[in-house]
A and B are shown apart, each in its own frame.
Chain A
Amino acid sequence: MIDRIKPKKADLILILLLLAAAFSLLLARGRGDALTAEITVNGVSENSIDLRAVESPYDITLQNGVRLHVEPGGISFAESDCRGKDCVRCGVLKRAGQAAACVPNQTLVLLTGKPQKGAPDAVSY
């Protein structure tokens, strides 16, 4: 009676195409050996931390009041004055490619496999 209940061949093709796009994006992103946390506020780079070099945990407080917890190999939002607290709920970021953001405070923490900013880098773009 209702034509769209039974899955069609086009559904499968569509799903495969989208998954292929996702995996090619993942591959294109690449992976480095380093683990660098890049902290930006409103698009401006605030801090860049080499998480592999962290030996004991410490907290940093940004100018907008957001407190970040830095530990060996990981970083997390510890405190923020926003309402949703989604940033704190994101937990500890540990792998390159992970990101957490506190949108109301325009704060973004991104883990990349690239070496820390300022460190010599053969590729520039």
Chain B
Amino acid sequence: MREPTIPEFLPGTLYMLILRTLARGPLHGYAISRRIKESSEEALAIEEGSLYPALNRMLVKGWLTAEWGISENNRKARFYKLTAEGRKRLVREYGQFDRLIRAIQLVMRSA
């Protein structure tokens, strides 16, 4: 059984989730998907097929930097870290997302 993947109807949500996850400190790719899964109480899962392209697009945009380091089980792993640019981006994305959710909730309650 596969867990449900991140809803497609809100583009850019994946970026926001990754940014948020990395806000607490650098993580490698596997840990990012793990952390999102745990925080969402297994409700959200990122397909590996979209995680790495997304991470690389964020590297190009300069929101993240990547560095090789040693993982918790003593293996070489690539760690992603938020840049100042990425932090700014997170605030903006979250603000927009928040407004959108509120608006949807307003519509849903009034109806």
A binds B: no
Binding site for B on A (CB under 8 A): none
